[in-house]
């Protein structure tokens, strides 16, 4: 697995994303963060037959990295951390939209 990014690295990525806007101006803005664990392609017929308790297989391995999205835009890669009953994500690398699009193909 990759090494977690230092807080300064995260700030650098954010600065690149906001294209010169002062980070201090954005600190109060709320951002929707989501994590993509994996993807799956299913025939519509199978999707329509699914009900409560259906299982969707994901094309992902146990140790694969996940995508971290901010307002549906890829910003980083990470790894799943499970401690006690808490699940969290450790940021391992900055991400670029082209990497995300290639992984989706």
Query: Highest mean pLDDT: which of 11-15, 20-24, 28-32?
Result: 28-32
Q: How far is residue 2 from each of residues 42, 59, 92, 94, 104, measured CA to CA in Å?
A: 31, 20, 5, 11, 21
What CATH number does the domain located at 7-104 have? 2.30.330.10
What is the rounded CA–CA span in Å between residue 6 and residue 16?
Answer: 16
* Domains of the chain, residue spans: 7-104
Q: Mean pLDDT score of the chain, rounded to an integer?
A: 79
CA dihedral 78, 32, 17, 35 (to 10 degrees): 20
pLDDT (tens digit per residue) in 27-42: 778 889 999 988 888 9
Decide if 5 contacts 91 (C-beta within 8 A).
Answer: yes
Residue pair 78/70 in contact by the 8 Å Cβ criterion = no
**Residue whose pair of structure tokens reads 């090494």 in the numeric block:** 3
Grade residue 46 by pLDDT with cuts at 50, 70 and 90: very high
Could you give the 3-state DSSP secondary structure of residue 100? helix
**Percent of the chain residues past pLDDT 70, beyond the cut:** 70
């Amino acid at each position: 697995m990759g090494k977690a990014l230092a807080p300064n690295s995260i700030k650098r990525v954010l600065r690149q994303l906001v294209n010169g806007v002062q980070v201090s101006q954005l600190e109060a803005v709320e951002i929707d963060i989501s994590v993509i664990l994996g993807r799956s392609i299913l025939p519509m017929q199978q999707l329509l037959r699914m009900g409560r308790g259906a299982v969707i297989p994901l094309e992902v391995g146990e140790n694969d990295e996940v995508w971290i999205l901010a307002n549906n835009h890829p910003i980083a890669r990470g790894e799943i951390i499970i401690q006690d009953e808490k699940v969290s994500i450790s940021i391992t690398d900055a991400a670029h939209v082209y990497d995300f699009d290639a992984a989706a193909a």
